[in-house]
Structure formats: structure tokens, C-alpha cells
Structure 1
Amino acid sequence: MDTIGLVKGMGMEGYHGKGTGTNRLKLCRVGPTTVRQQDCFKPPSSLRTVHLNKLLGKAHELLHTGLAKSSRKTYVAGKRRHFNFCKLVGKKPIPTTECTLTLFGTHLATSNTSLRTIKVYLAAVRHMHVCKGLHKQFNYQVTPRLQLILRGIKKRQAGRRFTKPCLPIIIPIPRSIKTALSKEAPSYDSTTFWAMCCLAFFGFLRVSEFTIPAENSYDSSSHLPLGDIAVDNRTKPRLLQLFLKQSKTDPYKQGTKVYMGTTDSTVCPVKAVLSYLQKRSTRPGPLFVTEKGKGWTRSTFCARLKSVLHKLKLDNNCYNTHSFRIGAATSASLAQLPDDHIQMLGRWRSNAFQQYIRPPPKELAKLSKTIVTGHHPRARTV
């Protein structure tokens, strides 16, 4: 830094020259330009600390928001298991080592934890390192030996079932549900439940897309409100439009429109939803509410579904709320809809929809005759 001039009477405290009555102003030479040092003045350390703390707090908030809410909940469980294990064996939880990870995975396997959950918990440990800026140290610990241990766990757990089976609700079951509800005394609750079933099936919906997590947890920015449903014609509606503000495949809330049409049968989403809307009050809030105005929760819908399936003498332990989405994909496949149409209807971004197609054994048995005759049976109709 060179002194290239004098400025008199500037009154710059802290930059006084040696001469009496004269204040010396130093200039900083930065590259080809010259900048006065008063323009490069650094704020007091206390102000810098406050600003830095605000930025750190904002960065922590963004790190928290960068992970989906469901993933955060799962990762909290994984991190807790990791810390408890490290405390048990006297290992340092972070930064971790390959030995600690292999022992942790083995400990989970011996605790009757599925390989899928083990991988999620390891991802939680990695996320913990990423948030601390130690992702490189963690990546160095994911060695071929750890991969071999995970493969060994997979072989040991082969044939074991850690989750309950989830059978599809294909088109004959909704008809049976409609019949069972018609035998009950007409009620607001039955009308609401039937509309939810039709919407879930024909919209390929996840239960979180048309219910709320718990009472008093309704959020208009993410849950389905009354105002996000529309029809093409008020007198003779043939099309129903549903606007989803957020979904599993749309975490950035770009919004997705789901379309359903009339089926000219007893199982019709347009008729079912309009019948419900005629009974529902116009009070803003969740689309599906009870007579008391409270939103339908996931647990309430699941309990009602299992109750109806039990009346139909079906094993309600083999069905859950996701059975509608699985059943919709399966029914579409049985109806010989093209794969790209099924993918579009279910809003899948990959070939993951193929895992949802689960034809019943009777439909698979028919393929034996098809192989011999070469004649494919006619497509099923709704």
C-alpha cells in the first residue's frame, strides 16, 4: 500500500498523519485502479460477528429445508441409533471410520433390521457428515469391505419379510365397497369416504395428497383445499380437475393438475365427488372434512378402509391406503393401457410404476392359455 497524496481537513479518525493540523489519507492500489482506504473500511469485529452469525443461522436453516420432511424424520431415527451404538462400543460417532460403519451395519442386522432400513440409516450418518462439511472423510470409509458386508446381510435376509404385504385394490373391490356402503344407512360419513376412495383410485393418489397428517395440522400451502377442485361444466360435468400444490415427485411445489372423467358406471369419481360436495359446507379448509368440520386424517381414512374391507371378508392386514395407487396401476395394466399412459396418470418420472403393477394370480393363470393359443384375452373394462 503506497501513500500517494495528502488531503487536509478530512477529520478521518484513525488515519491522522504526523504533521500538526494535517490528516493523512492513505490510498490502496488494487490492480490497475486506486481505491481509497475509507472505502475498504472494515466494520468493527462485533458487527462482523453478528452478521456472520446471521449467515450461519440462515445456512443451517437452508440445510434443514434442503431435506424432505419425511427424510428428516427417518434420518433423526438413524442418527439416534448411530450415536447410541457408538456410545455402547466406545467409538467416535463423527467423523466415523470404516470399522465403525461395518460394526454399526452388523449391529443393525443382528437387531432384526431390514437391509433397506440399514441403508437408510447409513445415509443418515452420511447426511450428518455432509452438514458438518466432512462428506469426503465419510466417502473414504465406504469401502468394498463395507459393500461386501451389506451384500452378506442381503443374502442372510433373503426370503424374510420385514413389511406387511400390500395387495392392490383393483376394480372389483371398489364396486364391492360401493355395495357395502349402500347397505348402510345413508350418512355424510359414507358419502365422504366413497368420494375419497374414488378420488384415490382414479387419481392414482397417495394418501398424503388428499388427507392431512393430524387434526389441526391443515396447511393450505401444501394440503388439498376445497378451492383446488373444479369441473368442466356445472350442469353436465364430464371432467374433474384436481390441483395438487405439492407431492412426493413435486417437492418444489410447481403444482400438478390431475384429470378424471366420468365412467358411466357405479364407480365414477365425478359422481362421487360431486355428491359429496353437495353435502359439504362451503367453509374454506381441507377438501374432505367431517360433519364437525375437521379434516380427514390419514389414520381416520385407513381405519375406515380396514373396517369396510373386514365387512367384505377380505384380509384387511394385506391392504392399506397405498393399495389404491397400486390397484390403479394394476387395473390400468389389465385394461391394456400403454406404459407411457400409466406413467403419466400416476405422475411417475421413471419406470418405478412397473413395481406397482401386481396382477392377481387368476389373471396370471390366464396367460398360460394365451401362450398356447396366441390369443390375448380381451381387455378388462371398467
Structure 2
Amino acid sequence: MVVRPCVREDAAAAQALRGLAFGGPREADPSWVDSPGFTAAVAELGGAVVGFTRVWAFRQFFGGRAVPCGGVASVAVAPHARGRGVASALLDDALVGMREAGQAVSALFPYVKRPYRARGWEHAGALERVRVPLAELRVPRVDVEVRPGTAADLAGAQDAYLRTARDIDGMFDRTTPGFTVERALAEDVFTVAVDGSGVRGYLVARRPDGSTVDVLDLVADDVDTAHALLGQVASWAGYTPEAGLRVLDPALLDLVLPSSVTRGAHVETWMLRVVDLPAAVAARGWPHAPDLAVDVEVVDEHAPWQAGRWRLTAEGGQVRAERGGEGSVRLLARALGPWFAGAASSGQLRRSGLLDGDAEAARALDRLVGGPGLPRLADAF
């Protein structure tokens, strides 16, 4: 088997694999291979392309800081080649490529779990959409100016997004080439809430038919802005019974939204893997970390550069990982993602068979991340 970079001459075969695996067109303009924001690879058997994957260059917030992240997507294998290690070979190649690109962690949305768990990814968070009955969506009237957004508002809307997203572990910063802020202008609704200082919130929505409104983004700096933008959603009550809302800020649902919602209407879980432990530790924010030191041993046959013993040292809110220590806590590769994201406690990881060793030292890992919680993503890929 040969795994190599995907070039334009592979575009037809790669697109056919993607269409067969995930639906959608099986033919496309071959220039998609050269699109910015991702790198792609193919696997060959007997000179024929039988596998494809790509890795998006993202940046994912953890602890208030954006960590370089490789977003693994479109892992597709020809039916006759399945069970022959094609997906595993593509993932092994992707791990090396992500490390070389400085992508310290990797996220993905799994269609199947087993091949990703075998290579060290594990569940760490969710992307959620809810249904909101518009007849019940009654919000207070507030003195906040709302108006249609224009191209001049895009930078302000991005700044508003970042003010919210950096406080939510798991969110992308949307500053890499795979994202274009201009896409808000192409949607049916782009509304901004403004004051003398600029954009304080915005709403992006799609009206696909006469029965629903799909809210793609609702971002607000404060409760009055949230009510003003929710009022824009509620104004559709005479035309449609409910709205779909992609959850960007969970506080909007739990603390602000004045009506019932259908939770769990659509939930996608995503997985995380630590690709390069010292780089990931250096890039992450650690707002909850007390001064401490904990020795760990990482078991990771597919990323051998981070296997072995490490001492994690926290001092003055800064954490670093250096070679050495006694290996008091043993973590399998699959444990690193949920721990790093603050998605699982050491006790939960222990009960799952992903961690063992000294219990007190393991609890120090919990104190570093301040978890557990539920990291979020609002962008599927």
C-alpha cells in the first residue's frame, strides 16, 4: 500500500470515493483539490486509488487560547478495499503530517468509532441543534439597535464571535483559510446588533422553506443583545411554527431563552486526540491550574514521539510538559483527548480503562483542567 499526497489528477477518484461514502456528487471540478485550508492524501493498492482523507487546518479554543488543530475529515475507503488497513494507513500518515504542521491536537466527527479509537481519538464534546417553538418565544422589548448586516460589519461580527467562542472550550476561532466571514452575506438573514462601540452581537439564519427557520449563529455580548436578536427570530412566528437553532453558546439556552426547547433534536459527538503533548500543553490556556507537578506515562504506539514519561509542571498559570518523572499515572493515548479538553475526570477515565496509577496524582490532572465539562463545537466539517 502507498499513501501519498492527493494531487489534481486524483480528484475524480477521490471525489467518487467521497460521494460513495458520504453521499453527494461523485463528480466535481478537480480544482477542489487545490482549495485552501486543508491538505489531502490518497491510498493506493495495485496502482489504483482506494482511499482518501483530508486534514483541515483549524484552531480550537481550550482554556481561552486557540490551539492549532488538525480536523480529520472525508476518510473514505473503496468497498472492495475495506478491512485491509487502508483507513489505518491514512490516519497514521495524517498523524505524522499534523505533527509536522504544528497541529498539536486533532478533532473529527466519527461515522464509525473503532478505527479512530484504535489510533488514539476519543469522544470529547458535542455539536447540538435544538428546536424552538416560536409561538412560545416571547422576549422582552429592549433598547438595542438591530439592522441588516453589510460587508462593513463582517470584522465586527467576527470579533463578537471570538469574544464568545474563546470562553467555550472546543470552539474553533474561525480565522483559518477554511472559514470565510463573507459567507454570512450569502445567507438569507444577516442581522447585527450595534451600539456606539460597534457590533455587540449578530444573527445568521437560513430560510430553506416555508416551515422552518434555521439559525446558524446567534452571538450576543449581553442579555439585552440576546433578547434583541431572539426577538428577530420570534418575528417569524406568523410564518412558521418553529426554528432550528445551532447551539453556539449554551448559556443562551440555559440562562436566557424564555421558552421551552426540544433538546437532543440533533446531537453529533466529536472526538479529540492529542497529537503532540508538549506542544498542546504549551498552546492551551490553563485558567484553573494551581501550582503543582504530576508525573505521567503515556502509552501511544501510533504517536511514538509522545510515548513515555513526562512531568507536567504548573506554575503561575503556565503549564509545561518535560521528559522525565516517575510515571505515577499511566494514560493510554485515548485518555489524552478527553483529559486535555476537560471532558472527563480521572475517575471516569479510570473506570473506562484508559488511566491507572496513583489516585492522588491523577486528581492533580483534574485540577489542571478544571473539568469535567462538555466542550462544544458549532462547526461541522
Please state which band the TM-score falls in when normalised by the shorter chain: under 0.3
- Of structures 1 and 2, the larger Rg is shown by 1
**Structure richer in helix, relative to its length:** 1
Bigger relative contact order (CA 8 A; separation at least 6): 2
TM-score (norm 1): 0.25
TM-score (norm 2): 0.25
